[in-house]
Structure 1
Amino acid sequence: TRFNPICRNQADLQYVKNFQLQNDQVRHGRVLLYGPVGAGKSSFINSVSNVLRRRITCPALTNATNEEGGSFTKKYETHNIKKDAGQFYPFVFNDLMGLEEGSGRGVRVEDIKLAMMGHVKEGYKFNPASPLSTSDSGYNPSPSPEDRVHVVVCVYSGNTTEINSSVLQKMKAIRETASDLGKRGLSV
Structure 2
Amino acid sequence: LLYPWRTLSTEDNLNFLKSYQPRKKEVKHLRILLHGPVGAGKSSFINSVESVLRGIVTDRAETDATSGEQLHPKESPYSIVFNDIMGLENNADNGVHVEDIKLALRGHVREGYKFNPYGPLTENNPGYNSNPSLDDKVHVLVCVVPVDSVSLLDDKVVQKLREVRLAASDLGIPQLAILTKVDEACPEVRSNIHNLHKSKYLKGQVEKFSVTVGIPIKSIFLVKNYESEINTSDDISRPILTALKQMTVSLLRQTVFPQAVKCLYQCFSTS
Q: TM-score, normalised by structure 1?
A: 0.86
Question: CA–CA distance in 1 between the matches of 2:85 and 2:49?
Answer: 17
Q: Percent identity?
A: 47
> Are the counterparts in 2 of residues 120 and 140 from structure 1 also a CA contact under 8 Å?
yes
Question: CA–CA distance in 1 between the matches of 2:8 and 2:35?
Answer: 30
Question: CA–CA distance in 1 between the matches of 2:60 and 2:75?
Answer: 8
Deviations 1:9-67, CA, capped at 9 Å, x for gaps: 6x11111111111333200110000000000000110111111100011121224xx7x
Q: TM-score, normalised by structure 2?
A: 0.60
* 1:131-146 matched pairs, under 5 angstroms: 131-146=120-135
Shift of 1:99: 0.3
User: Who is 2:90 aligned against?
Assistant: 101
Amino acid at match of 2:70: K
Amino acid at match of 1:166: K
> Are the counterparts in 2 of residues 75 and 123 from structure 1 also a CA contact under 8 Å?
yes
Pairing 1:180–2:180 present = no
Question: CA–CA distance in 2 between the matches of 1:126 and 1:172?
Answer: 20
Equivalent of 1:153, from 142, 148, 152?
Answer: 142
Shift of 1:108: 0.4
> Are the counterparts in 2 of residues 76 and 120 from structure 1 also a CA contact under 8 Å?
no
In structure 1, the gaps of 5 or more residues are 82-87
Structure 1 outlier segments of 4+, above 6 Å: none
More helix as a share of residues: 2
* 1:47-66 matched pairs, under 5 angstroms: 47-63=48-64
Q: RMSD of the TM alignment (CA)? A: 1.7
Pairing 1:41–2:46 present = no
Deviations 1:128-180, CA, capped at 9 Å, x for gaps: 11100000010000001000000100000012132100000000000001111
Question: CA–CA distance in 2 between the matches of 1:23 and 1:32?
Answer: 20
Question: CA–CA distance in 1 between the matches of 2:19 and 2:95?
Answer: 37
Pairing 1:128–2:130 present = no
User: Who is 1:8 aligned against?
Assistant: 10
Pairing 1:163–2:153 present = yes
What SS class does the counterpart of residue 154 from structure 1 fall into? Answer: strand
Equivalent of 1:75, from 70, 73, 78?
Answer: 70
Deviations 1:87-131, CA, capped at 9 Å, x for gaps: x31110001100001211100000000001000001111001110
